[in-house]
Structure 1
Amino acid sequence: MQPIQFELDAAHDFVELNQLLKLTGLAHSGGTGKAIVASGAVRVDGQVELRKTCKIRAGQVVECENVRIEVVAG
């Protein structure tokens, strides 16, 4: 599984899940990110996550399409 480290902006303590997929290049747009989440293809901390705009915070791990995104504080 390919690891990616995503650093949160210092001004924000979370990123919405669909936007995280967009910002890491796994989705071409926020709308595509929402569709990927709705399909059940995304796991947050090992659990399937279906909430498209769920808040992802530092310390959480998101897995999608054989990519593991580790979210860290900025």
Structure 2
Amino acid sequence: MDDSEAILTDIFSVSKPTGLNSLTAGLADAFLQDVATAGGGLQIVYEDAQVEDVGFTTGNGYGVIRIPFPLSLNAVPNTWSLD
């Protein structure tokens, strides 16, 4: 089993946008609480080392190539600073 990963972004932080309804505001609050518990930072990571089939589809005069590239959003300690 290959346990490799590719970190695609530096650590970044997120905040809740304004104007959410009660359901989406609650989901955003829960997400932000989970991120804060994990250390306050996020990174986008590619963890799947297996090769998947590339798909090709046509429609409406366009060709579309599907390249599976599953990404994960990992909550991590936010250690980034300008110091």
TM range (shorter): under 0.3
TM-score normalised over the length of structure 2: 0.22
Structure ID, larger Rg: 2
The structure carrying a bigger strand percent of its residues is 1
